[in-house]
Amino acid sequence: LRHLTTLENLPRETIERLLDKANSLRDQSAHGTRKLDILAGRTVLNLFFEPSTRTRTSFELAARRMGADVINFDIALSSSSKGEELFDTLHTLEAMHLDAIIVRHKVSGTPEELVKHAMSGVSVVNAGDGNRAHPTQGLLDALTIRNHHPDFRKLKVAICGDVRHSRVARSDVHVLTAMGAKDVRIVGPSRLLPTEGEFKGVTLHEDFDEAIQGVDVVIMLRLQKERMASTDLPDEAAYFERYGLDTRRLARAAKGALVMHPGPINRGIEIAPEVADGAQSRILEQVGNGVFVRMAVLCEVMGR
């Protein structure tokens, strides 16, 4: 892969190779405590037009732990804030020589546009575009699940919350179906579900108590208020009552079901604090795996 903009149509073998590579880099780097020099002399640019804690930091750590130089582009202090167009910014940065650009943008399709307009051999990695794709989140979610449940053919997964506005849900569905997951249930109020037929190989549900029954993995999503009209915002208490994950509801899932969330979490809105911090929560494990998955992706796109 020269670029990673989406997981849609990515073959299972490529996904498995990236997940294997992530585990191998975890071991080679002694869980990130030993620095590697695989990307020495390479330069990676973090170009984030939307806020991020996990993705931006983990890409930076991933690149630095393999010896690359990292530039964190500060949008607020850049000439973008003076009206410079995206592709002029791209060409300006490329003129300084870059090997990879990690981009997050509110407009769906921006990573592909950068690929089209890039003039150098720079690799583009999508760190989240609009509601469309967040491929490294999908990969780190798959890695977290695979480390507990190696055989996806037996796997039942519920993805619950604001699926309509979620790029994570889209990438999770792409990776889960590519990996052959047996049963993927998409859950939420009708106005936050994807349109009928948009997602292939999944079932849509409005009743969370019913849909969570017997699942091995529950992936909770936050309400993406920044992508909703104010009139679409649900009452938070009523939302938690029907779609929040609390201990009572979690007890309906399979014994020891994994609780996942891409973050940031909103305690008491989509997940109860005792579940987010409970024994079944894999939320911080997801964050840790994010660094190794991003190391694997950077190696892949830069041909290492």
Among 53, 81, 120, 203, binds ligand CP (CB under 6 A): 53
The residue (of 52 and 280) whose beta carbon lies closer to ligand CP is 52
Say whether residue 55 binds ligand CP (CB under 6 A): yes
Asked if 119 and 88 touch (Cβ cutoff 8 Å), the reply is no
Which residues in 175-214 contact ligand CP (CB under 6 A)?
A: none
Rg (CA), the chain: 19
* Span of 47-55, 170-178, 228-236, 292-300 interacting with ligand CP by CB under 6 A: 47-55
Which of these, 91, 2, 1, 82, lies nearest to 47 by C-alpha position? 91
Say whether residue 79 binds ligand CP (CB under 6 A): no
Say whether residue 29 binds ligand CP (CB under 6 A): no
Say whether residue 54 binds ligand CP (CB under 6 A): yes
Cβ-proximal residues to 173 (8 Å cutoff; 6+ apart), any chain: 159, 184, 186, 199, 201, 202
Cβ-proximal residues to 82 (8 Å cutoff; 6+ apart), any chain: none
Residue 63: burial class (beta carbons within 10 Å; 0-12, 13-18, 19+): buried
Q: Is 263 annotated as a binding residue?
A: yes
Cβ-proximal residues to 137 (8 Å cutoff; 6+ apart), any chain: 55, 128, 167, 168, 171, 172, 262, 290
Q: Taking phi first (over 0 means left), then psi (-120 to 50 degrees means alpha), and beta for anything else, what does residue 134 get?
A: beta
Which of these, 135, 203, 217, 196, lies nearest to 168 by C-alpha position? 135
Least distance CB 261 / ligand CP (angstroms): 9
Say whether residue 128 binds ligand CP (CB under 6 A): yes
* Span of 12-20, 49-57, 147-155, 179-187 interacting with ligand CP by CB under 6 A: 49-57
Least distance CB 237 / ligand CP (angstroms): 25
CA 68 from chain center: how many Å? 22
Which of these, 135, 107, 82, 71, lies nearest to 296 by C-alpha position? 135
- β-partners of residue 157 are 184, 217
Least distance CB 189 / ligand CP (angstroms): 22
Give CA–CA dist 183/157, Å, rounded: 6
Q: How many residues bind ligand CP (CB under 6 A)?
A: 10
Least distance CB 128 / ligand CP (angstroms): 6
The residue (of 251 and 284) whose beta carbon lies closer to ligand CP is 284
Q: Is 222 annotated as a binding residue?
A: yes
Give CA–CA dist 283/303, Å, rounded: 30
Say whether residue 135 binds ligand CP (CB under 6 A): no
Among 137, 171, 177, 266, binds ligand CP (CB under 6 A): 137
Say whether residue 111 binds ligand CP (CB under 6 A): no
* Span of 15-23, 53-61, 64-72, 193-201 interacting with ligand CP by CB under 6 A: 53-61
Which residues in 240-279 contact ligand CP (CB under 6 A)?
A: 262-264
Give CA–CA dist 281/297, Å, rounded: 25
Say whether residue 52 binds ligand CP (CB under 6 A): yes
Say whether residue 227 binds ligand CP (CB under 6 A): no
> Which residues are documented as binding site for L-aspartate?
82, 167, 222
Where do contacts with ligand CP occur on this chain (CB under 6 A)?
Answer: 52-55, 128, 134, 137, 262-264
